[in-house]
Structure formats: structure tokens, C-alpha cells
Homo-oligomer: A and B are copies of this chain.
Amino acid sequence: MFEPYRFQDLTPLFNPKSIAVVGASEKEHSIGNHTMKNIVEHSRFAGTIYPVNPKQDMVMGHKAYPDMASLPEAVDVVIVVVPAQFVKSTIEQAGEKGCGFAVILTSGFSEADDWGRAEEAALVEISKRTGIRIYGPNCPGLVNLNIPLGMSFSPAYKDDLVPGSVALATQGGGLGRNMLQHNARGMGFSIWSSSGNECDLQVADFVHYMAGDPEVKVICILVEGFKDGPRFAAAAKRAAEMGKPVIGLKVGRSAYGAAAAQSHTASITGSAEVNSTVFAQLGVIEVDDLDEAMDVAMLFTRAIPRGDEKVAVFASSGGAASLCADNVGTAGLTLSDFAPETLARLGEVLPSYAAISNPIDTTSISISQPQAFLDAIIACANDPNTDIVLAPMPMDYGIYTARGAQSMLEAQKTTDTPIVPIWFSERTGEGYHTLAEGGLVPFRSLRNMGKAVRRWIDWGTWRSGFDMAWTPLIVDQGVAAPATGTRTLTEAEGKRELAASGVPVTAPEVATSAAEAGEIAARMGGALAMKIVSARITHKSDIGGVMLNVAPADAAAAFDTIMANAGQAVPDAPLDGVLLEPMARPGGVEAFVGVARDPVFGHVMTFGLGGIYVEMFKDVTRAMLPVSQAQAMEMIGRLKSAKLLTGYRGQPPRDLEALALLVARVSDHVVAHAERIEEMDINPVWVGAEGEGALALDAVIVVRA
């Protein structure tokens, strides 16, 4: 039986009262020395430090202990930097003693070889037995910059100490450090976890903790693979409930990336499409690169969007105004219409040759008339119709640009509307540093600005539409282990199952003789579809196992033909007879609904129109289950080919309600049998005109054997 996710409170890990450093050393350049220095010299840690080193009495002014067993108390955090072969006994002792968390920096475990894998498994076993939770191994540790406290061997820790409200959860260390170094443009961070092999605690646990941490405004994750998909989904749901945006960059969107990530962290990278589906559904903002993650994070530290924000562009160069407006347009953003009083004020302070409607081009008065420049940006930022001011700054003009930057800081004091500079010169002069230090963290490219603002607003839209009562099936049930054997239901079996769950299907009957086929056909009347029934034959039409538009009088002969074709094509296949059902009314549109079990995120539904739309244009939409009728309507609306359903070229609008209900019923069916159902393909689904309904014409269901 699956147990719902429980998340341990990680406060003692990120805000410990006592720390032991096993392997603490005074030897310069050693890992144990770097780790001690980071705590003793570069942190403001007010708790107790216990160096553990059997060869020393004191380490860096703190009394040392020979081993964990000798410590006077059970510490909150045990940092472990001893070689791999000594780690297990250390954790054993720490666990027995009742310590809360072990942060294992040491490498040489599951990422290395068979010995390491076995050793790591033993650590997990100790954790389960004693209750000590493990962070790592094979990781650079973690930092809490709001103390600051660095439980890390990184010699770079001391250089990246800008505190703030952005929390980072990464697996590897290098790319996390990259994000942290956005402090060079004024970004501040609260906590950073970089959890390496994740033998116990993982990104999901940190996201859950960050969601509840009052010092965190926005959460950024960078993952090569999710160790536990449902746990992550539960954590992301928690962040949604707490109103905190999660920004995600997932490696593995190409085969090269997936292969490299797999060899780097031994993670299952999973399907990129499924990952994007999960992110989108849980409001995790997917980004394409690290700088984009930081751009979006920065916006959230400035304001929480509603979803309908309008932007103003404030430039001092006509070219920059045009190019910025162009990016506003290509990103699908909306320029605000300035209120009359804003236009009046701008007309007053700016020269006649300036552009005062949105986008604003002050022209070179930023150089010649600094007061007018300041007055103008204040007027722009206080415009009642504007939600965010974008200020492109194409070049560094030394002192003039610095003065402009200063004006932006002053203008920001007059309003809550964020003023966001875009410093897109590669040269970062005094003006740049003025902005960074003054809290107006600049974007670094116009294109990224457009993408980031778009994502920021879209999150607001997502949040206002998200149903907090919805919980992914996998959070309730987890992901079942892949089936060792599977069985494909016959069409008749599959349709009976679906019918029992309320999915509208054709009501087929199976004839086992030509005579019976004739009787059934006569009873059904009208044109019939006839298909072979055999568990061994799935591609029925390929082997002549399907005949369409059969008149009742021809049904008996058709039975014989189909049986003969099937017998010839697959001589040893057991044939259970021939299925008969009425032909679908002509003129319908064909859709399909598929469900497959992803090894990371469980059952995911794929929906679209059939044929060329999926095959040529990849025009499909996906969702984790459960999918309600309302959610199914949204899925339909996301298709490019949705127009075909809403009345294309004089065709009648299709019965969308019925189609959405069918999709929801399919979801219900899978939810009710999630352990058993491996895969399902309902294709085609006939979609009639409004009022005519929707009907599953074929169904292939694969279940555990």
C-alpha cells in the first residue's frame, strides 16, 4: 500500500544549533580545512562546533573529539569529509547517537563503482533504521546566506555571500554556483542546496522546505533527473499552495543532454515532454537556460503578478525603444496606454522631439537634462495603467549612464511599480553597479527580458486558474513499478471495461460463427464494422482483419473472410471470433486519447486529433491524471487544430462537451485501475456535431499480466 508523502522539517539542517565536522583539519588546502574555515571564519554561526579528528585535541580553536560516539550531545548536523571507506561507520555512530542530519561531502559512492553503490545502499539502510537523514553524498554541501552559514568545502563560498529571497535547489554544484554568481548583478539568495547523489534527501524535500520558509520568495531548481517524481509533484503542489513560484531548468531536452546527465548523476532523466507537462500543470515555470531562471526569479522578488500586467518602455535611444518594443511584441506582452495625466506630464517635462507615448524615447536629454529625465521616469512609473517599467540601456556612457541609473533608483522610491533596467551592453560600468547595488537588478538582454516577463505574467495567469483542490494521481498513489509482464485486452474486453466506467463506446458483439454474425448483424441493422478478435492481433487492419460498411446480409460471408485472413496471416493465433458494431455516423472529426505510464511521473494522458495533426504537426497536448471535464476542455483549447472542432470552413461545431466528458471518463477509469493499467490507446474517438456526442470507436488497453 502506498503511503502519502511526508516531508521532514529541515529547519535544523538549514539553521542548526550544533554542527560536527568529521574530518576537520588544520592542514591548509585540505577539504577538512576549507570546510572548517567556511564555518569558523566566513560564517556567523552562533551555535556549537564540534571538530571530529582522532589525531588532534583542538582544531581551529575548537575542542576536537576522536569520533562521533564521544561527542557530548546529538548534534543537528554532522558534516562528513572523511574518505569514503570511513563514512559508513561515522554515519552509524551519528545515527545511533540521535543526530538529525548528515551532510556527506565525500565522493566515491554510487557515482563511482559497485563498491560505492553498495556502500551508499548501506547508508540508506542506516538512515531508515536510526532516523538520521542524509544529504549527499558526493556534493559540495549547502549554504544559508541569510545567517550566513556555509556547510561546504567550497573555497568560493566566501565570495558569494549576497543574502536575499531566492532559494536554489540543484543537484550538481557547478551550475548552482553559476546561479549564485548572479549576485554580480545584485541578485540575493537565501538558501542553496546542492544535493549530489541524493541517496536520501532530494530536490523535492528542499522545494517543500523552501515553500514554507518565510525568508524565501521564489524557488529555483536545476535538475538532471528526478529521483522520485511523485515526491517532487507533492512538493511543487505545496509551493503552489503557499503562493510561491518555482522556476525549473531540467537537463535532458535532447538525446545528448539526457545521455550526459545519465552518466553524470545516474539519474533517470525521463521524457522531456512529460517533464514539461508536469511543470506546466503544477505551475513550475520552465526555462531554457540558467540566466533565464535568474531573470524570472528576479521579477518575482520585485512583484507577484496577477496575469494581466501591462508594460511601459522607457528609453533614451530611439533604436533601443524600437528594439525593446519589438521584443515586447514578439513576447506577446501588452504596452500600456498611458493615462491622460501621464501624457500631459511627459509632454511638460520632455522636449517636443521626444516620443511620449509608449514606448517613450526621451532622446539624449538623459545626458543634457538630468532633471527632465528624472521627472519623465517618475511620470512613467507612476502611470496608473502601467504595471512594470522596462528601461533598456544599450550602452555604457560612463558618468552619464551612472546618473541615469541614479535617477531610476530615485524614481523607484516614488512607486511600487517595478522599474526594471535592461543593461544590454557587455561593458558594465558605474551605472551598472549603481543599479545592482541599489536593488534594481538589471536584465542583460532584450530577448531574455521578453521571455522572462512573459513567464512571470503567465505564472499569474496559471495561479489564478489553478484548482488547489486538484492533486496529481501520483501524489495519492505513487508510481507503480514497471510491470514484469503485460497483456493486451481484446477490443471487446477493452470496450466493456470502458463502458463500465462510463466512457461512451460502440456496443460491439462478438460472433463465433458465420451464422451468429448474420444473426447479430440482422439485429443491429444498418452498415456494420467487423473486426477480428484475437489477443495476439493488435494491428487488425494490416492483416485484413477489418471490414467496414458491411451490409447485414453480407455479414456471414464477411465473418468467413476475416477469419480466413487472420488465420493465414497469423497461423497459430487463437481466434476468438469477429466483433460486429454499427458504423459510426459519417462526417465526424477523429480524435484520440492515449495514456502511458511514465517511469518517473506515472500515468500521463496524450490527447489530440488523429492522422496528420499528430503525425506531421505533433499537435498534441498532455496531462497528468486525473483530468476533469473542465481540464479536458482546456486541453482541447490548447490544440492548434482546435479550430477543426469549433467550426472550420462552415463545418458545424463539434460536441466539445461530450468529447471532454469522454476524456474525463477515461481518466476516471485509469485512476480507478492505476495499478493495473500500463497503457491505453483510444483511437479513433468519433466526435459528432453539437448534441451528437462522442464515441470511442477502437480501444487498445495493455494491463499487467
Q: Spell out A's residues near B (CB within 8 Å).
A: 111-112, 155-156, 159, 170-178, 181-185, 222, 224, 251-261, 263-265, 288-292, 294, 316-323, 325-330, 335, 353, 355, 359, 361, 394-398, 424-428, 444-447, 611-612, 615-617, 619, 640-641, 643-644, 648-649
Contact = CB atoms under 8 A, between A and B. Distances in A.
A623 to B, nearest CB: 22
A329 B178 contact: no
Contacts of A335: 256
18 contacts: A112-B353, A156-B396, A170-B319, A172-B319, A174-B317, A174-B320, A177-B395, A182-B426, A184-B425, A251-B319, A251-B323, A253-B326, A256-B325, A256-B328, A256-B335, A259-B325, A290-B424, A290-B446
Nearest to A397: B156
Contact of A326 (B254, B292, B427): B254
Given A156-B395, A174-B320, A317-B175, A612 B254 contact: no
Contact of A224 (B253, B290, B322, B398): B322
Most chain B beta carbons < 10 A, residue from A222, A321, A322, A444: A322
A251 B265 CA distance: 43
Contact of A355 (B112, B263, B291): B263
A174 B396 CA distance: 10
Nearest to A318: B264
Contacts of A396: 156, 181
Contacts of A649: 611
Contacts of A319: 170-176, 222, 224, 251, 264
A598 to B, nearest CB: 19
A602 to B, nearest CB: 24
Contacts of A325: 254, 256-257, 259-260
A181 B395 contact: yes
A289 B424 CA distance: 10
Contact of A424 (B178, B316, B615): B178
Given A264-B318, A264-B321, A640-B617, A254 B328 contact: yes
A316 to B, nearest CB: 8
A290 B224 CA distance: 31
Nearest to A175: B319
Contacts of A177: 394-395, 425
Most chain B beta carbons < 10 A, residue from A185, A256, A291, A329: A256
A611 to B, nearest CB: 8
Nearest to A315: B174
B253 A329 contact: yes
Most chain B beta carbons < 10 A, residue from A252, A292, A325: A325
Nearest to A288: B447
Nearest to A611: B649
Nearest to A367: B155
A398 B177 CA distance: 13
B330 A253 contact: yes
Nearest to A643: B616
A326 B181 CA distance: 22
A178 B319 CA distance: 11
Contacts of A257: 322-323, 325-330
Contacts of A290: 323, 394, 424, 445-446
Contact of A174 (B172, B395, B426, B648): B395
Nearest to A357: B263
A159 to B, nearest CB: 7
A184 B395 CA distance: 12
A202 to B, nearest CB: 16
Contacts of A424: 178, 290-291
Given A172-B322, A178-B425, 17 more contacts: A155-B397, A174-B394, A177-B394, A182-B426, A184-B426, A252-B326, A254-B325, A257-B326, A260-B321, A261-B322, A261-B326, A264-B322, A291-B445, A292-B447, A444-B444, A612-B641, A617-B619
Cβ-closest 3 pairs across A and B: A254-B329, A257-B326, A174-B317
A21 to B, nearest CB: 21
A171 B318 CA distance: 11
Given A174-B320, A175-B319, A322-B257, A612 B224 contact: no
Nearest to A155: B397
A269 to B, nearest CB: 9
Contacts of A427: 181, 183-184
A265 to B, nearest CB: 7
Contacts of A644: 612, 616
A242 to B, nearest CB: 28
Contacts of A222: 319
A655 to B, nearest CB: 20
Contacts of A361: 264
A112 B363 CA distance: 13
Nearest to A368: B29
Most chain B beta carbons < 10 A, residue from A178, A289, A649: A178
A317 B178 CA distance: 11
